[in-house]
Amino acid sequence: MAYLSLKDINKIYPNGFHAVHDFNLEIEKGEFIVFVGPSGCGKSTTLRMIAGLEDISKGDFLIDGVRANEKGPRDRGVAMVFQSYALYPQMTVYDNLAFGLTLQGIDEDIIEKKVKNVASILGLTDYLDRLPKALSGGQRQRVAVGRAIIRKVGIFLMDEPLSNLDAKQRVTMRSEITDIHQKTGSTTIYVTHDQTEAMTMADRIVVMKEGYIQQVGTPYDLYFNPVNVFVAGFIGEPPMNFVRAVVKKGKITIGKNTLDISSKLGDKATKYEGKEIVFGFRPEAIVLGESSDSLLIKASVELTELLGDNTNVYVDIQGERAILKVNPHDTPEMDSDISFSIPMESVYLFDGETEKRI
Ligand code: ATP
């Protein structure tokens, strides 16, 4: 039996807005689950229903096999970290960390031991006497995380905890949170709109769109086996390139290029004859020039962006735009004509109507 079960969970807000539809998920003890999706897709609403901060309109939420829909936040054994940190501004770091334990009436000596332990895990030992206003964003964030982990709860919920940090701090905190998760072994559900956070931190990712789960899987699954155009476009940076085209005798035409995709369509070739499909390939999957068992495309270079470890090349395929990721030493000239190959195994085809993977 899974540790946390969400069965057909729905959220309909009092104004009638249906924010989450038939959300089904089983979470094992100790898993690090990330809910990811664009703004407004229902990630926070789902997390808040798990936390007990929001009523579940329909469906069952079980903790260890026991229905928890009616349990209050305190009885669920959850600790939550918010985007806003929610620290007490008039209290020192020490008191912020100790606050939850003091409320529980725990012995001062034990509290001190716990606070010092958590402070040392999070690198806050030298800041215990400071007020939150005298801390950097990253340090405040660590206090917020510390306040959650000090309670030793089974379930750790985080809602965009890194969004107030700068890019460098985010990278550092990402690995710190993963590290803390490994040390504490707590089950973690983490909400973000950032696919890089999802890919680097999650055991499993839940991709959401407009209140519906699109796909649940490991980062590897979602990257290599996306079920639809939305997931394929959401996971990966720069995103997958998509071109719409009509199948004619197993071939499609993109600009001046005729591409034989019959081997990819396989026994579905007849079904898609004369129909529109979405042809997808990842920027990093291409090879400059010709290559065997690949589709060759001619294009012209519009713009190049040298990023250091690679170059993003923006190309025009006679009216269709695409981004290619190439080795910086192979950066083509602006306005030059190039050809590139997409290995057959890196070609993704989607139904033009349903946008589901073919
Ligand atoms: P973000 O990344 O912007 O926080 P999210 O995926 O977490 O987005 P939610 O906050 O869960 O999205 O909101 C989902 C949808 O529900 C949104 O369209 C939002 O406007 C709506 N919503 C949120 N709270 C309420 C409310 N109290 N009453 C009505 N609708 C709400």
Q: Please give the number of the atom of ligand 1 that sits closest to the Cα of 42.
A: 11
pLDDT of residue 236: 94
CA dihedral (144, 152, 71, 91) positive or negative: negative
Q: Which of 10, 17, 34, 47 to mutate to test the pocket of ligand 1 (most atoms within 8 A of CB)?
A: 17
Confidence of residue 67 (pLDDT cuts 50, 70, 90): very high
Q: Which of 15, 18, 44, 82 to mutate to test the pocket of ligand 1 (most atoms within 8 A of CB)?
A: 44
DSSP H/E element including 223: helix 219-224
Using a 6 Å cutoff on CB, does residue 311 contact ligand 1?
A: no
167 Cβ partners below 8 Å, 6+ apart?
Answer: none
Residue 151 has pLDDT above 90, yes or no: no
Task: Write the residue with the smallest CA distance to atom 18 of ligand 1.
Answer: 40
Q: Where are the alpha helices (DSSP H) in 57-193?
A: 93-103, 108-121, 137-149, 167-184
pLDDT of residue 137: 82
Contact by Cβ (8 Å): 11, 56: yes
Using a 6 Å cutoff on CB, does residue 38 contact ligand 1?
A: no
DSSP H/E element including 62: strand 58-63
CA distance 31 to 141: 22
63 Cβ partners below 8 Å, 6+ apart?
Answer: 3, 4, 71, 76, 77, 155
Task: State the residue for tokens 């725990």.
Answer: 106
182-220 pLDDT, tens digit each: 888 889 999 999 999 999 999 999 999 999 999 999 999
pLDDT of residue 300: 96
Q: Please give the number of the atom of ligand 1 that sits closest to the Cα of 15.
A: 29
- C-alpha gyration radius of the chain: 24
Q: Please give the number of the atom of ligand 1 that sits closest to the Cα of 208.
A: 6
Strand partners for 177: none
Q: At what angle do helices 137-149 and 108-121 cross, to 10 degrees?
A: 130
Task: Write the residue with the smallest CA distance to atom 29 of ligand 1.
Answer: 13
CA distance 102 to 141: 21
Using a 6 Å cutoff on CB, does residue 88 contact ligand 1?
A: no
Contact by Cβ (8 Å): 50, 68: no
Using a 6 Å cutoff on CB, does residue 193 contact ligand 1?
A: yes
Residue 173 has pLDDT above 90, yes or no: no
CA of 46 to the centre of ligand 1 (A): 10
Other Cβ atoms within 10 Å of 332 Cβ, number: 19
275-308 pLDDT, tens digit each: 999 999 999 999 999 999 999 999 999 999 999 9
CA of 7 to the centre of ligand 1 (A): 20
Q: Which of 21, 43, 214 to mutate to test the pocket of ligand 1 (most atoms within 8 A of CB)?
A: 43
pLDDT of residue 43: 96
